[in-house]
Homo-oligomer: A and B are copies of this chain.
Amino acid sequence: MTEVQASMQHSCAIGQSSLSCMELLSQQELELLQSKIAEVNYKKGEIICKQGAPASQIMLVRDGLVKIYMENNSGENLILQIMPGMNIIGLSTLFEGNTVYQFSAQAYLDTKLDVIDSATFRQLIRTNPDFATKVIALLAEYNTIISGRFFCLTQKQTYGRFADVLLCLANRIYKSQKFPLHLSRKELAEIAGMSVESVARIITRFKEENLIDLECKHLNILDYNRMFEISQKG
């Protein structure tokens, strides 16, 4: 079951790699970095970088949770990825054609970042093969995450996408079928790529069908197998 699940596409925006590349740096490199790194703290809700702004920095998420998204002309955002600690923001600026950020980033929770200029970062890639390998693995993972979301948001319909989100929360974040639902309907809607009203309707429906139980912001997935089925069928 778990293997099957792993091989399927899902819209979960959160990666699983947890190893920091910083751990791969030598003592010497770390000392050299000391002067080049700026540690910055963001409060929940604060904007970390804006789509379209000149991009010359790489940011290492030390702690917290960051939303990576693209802004459209109307007020709605497309979430590309949600990053916990030990991830890197702005790698796509290492592609020479990118002089501006292609996305915005916002702190979902209080977040601590290490900011490094691209040039220094490039230097690390050149001098430390372990570091370079890790960066490649991270980029490859980001690619997989975004492709998976792309697939789900274009191919699955609302019920499947919402089931996806619930399973992601259960499996990846809380590691339990029962968990507190801190996210607002608006946030859920943004993650699942649908309107707030659709989220409300789907939750009502899922409750009616005894798929979930939701009381006092505590969600319980009552029928995991059916939920999984729904997420697969779309």
Contacts of A92 in B (CB 8 A): 140-141, 143-144, 147
- Choose from B73, B96, B136, B147 the contact partner of A70 (Cβ within 8 Å): B147
Let me know if A47 is at the binding interface, CB within 8 A.
Answer: no
| Cα–Cα, bound, A200→B150 (Å) | 25
Let me know if A119 is at the binding interface, CB within 8 A.
Answer: no
Determine whether the beta carbon of A94 is less than 8 Å from that of B150. Answer: no
Determine whether the beta carbon of B140 is less than 8 Å from that of A93. Answer: yes
Interface segment, one of A29-37, A127-135, A209-217, A223-231: A127-135
Determine whether the beta carbon of A151 is less than 8 Å from that of B70. Answer: yes
Determine whether the beta carbon of B143 is less than 8 Å from that of A78. Answer: no
| Cα–Cα, bound, A95→B87 (Å) | 14
| Cα–Cα, bound, A102→B149 (Å) | 12
Let me know if A184 is at the binding interface, CB within 8 A.
Answer: no
| Cα–Cα, bound, A155→B91 (Å) | 24
**What is the total number of copies of this protein in its complex?**
2
| Cα–Cα, bound, A193→B140 (Å) | 24
Binding site for B on A (CB under 8 A): 7, 9, 16-17, 52, 70, 72-73, 76, 78, 80, 91-98, 100, 102-103, 122, 125-127, 129, 132-133, 135-144, 146-151, 153-155, 193, 233-234
Contacts of A70 in B (CB 8 A): 9, 147, 150-151
Task: For A16, give the chain B residue with the smallest CB separation.
Answer: B97
Determine whether the beta carbon of A140 is less than 8 Å from that of B91. Answer: yes
* Nearest CB on B from A101, distance (A): 10
Contacts of A7 in B (CB 8 A): 52, 100
Contacts of A138 in B (CB 8 A): 95
Determine whether the beta carbon of B140 is less than 8 Å from that of A94. Answer: yes
Determine whether the beta carbon of A129 is less than 8 Å from that of B125. Answer: yes
Determine whether the beta carbon of B144 is less than 8 Å from that of A102. Answer: yes
Contacts of A125 in B (CB 8 A): 129, 132-133, 136
- Choose from B80, B98, B133, B234 the contact partner of A122 (Cβ within 8 Å): B133
- Choose from B17, B139, B234 the contact partner of A136 (Cβ within 8 Å): B139
- Choose from B73, B137, B153 the contact partner of A154 (Cβ within 8 Å): B153
Determine whether the beta carbon of A98 is less than 8 Å from that of B151. Answer: no
